[in-house]
Amino acid sequence: MEPETISTPRPDPTLLTTQQLKFAVAEVKENLGDKITWLRELHEEKFRGVATQFENSSTALSAALSAQKEAGNKSEASFAKQIEFMNITINDLKGRLDRGEGKFSGIGNAWGIVVAVVMALVAIGALVAMVVKP
């Protein structure tokens, strides 16, 4: 029995496989690095957009709250003026009642109406008497 000899083909496939594997790993690293850089830039851009939206929302909220405060102040001033006017009116009416103006004015007006109705009846009676008198 002869000893077996192991022959290695030329070129050695182990060396070629190792070289191809190193080349593939280097290519994957390069592509992966580019993709990571691209993703990092994309995320930074999106985060800047979100930060800008928050700043704009904050500005809009501040403006809305300021406008609401001004409207509240105007409404409060208007309400205070209405209350003041009502107090003046109430005090005026109370003063008139204390002086009795409303009571005696009403009675005076009623007497004037009664006198006017009586005078009208007298005038109608006088006209009838003149017409009926032969």
Q: Give tens-digit pLDDT for 60-108.
A: 888 888 888 888 888 888 888 888 888 888 888 888 777 766 566 666 6
CA distances from 37 to 24, 26, 27, 46, 51 (A): 20, 17, 15, 14, 21
120: in domain: yes
46: in domain: yes
pLDDT at 71: 85
Quick one: angle between helices 101-132 and 13-99, nearest 10? 60
Same domain for 74 and 108? no
Same domain for 89 and 56? yes
111: in domain: yes
Domain that residue 121 falls in: 100-134
The pTM of this model reads: 0.34
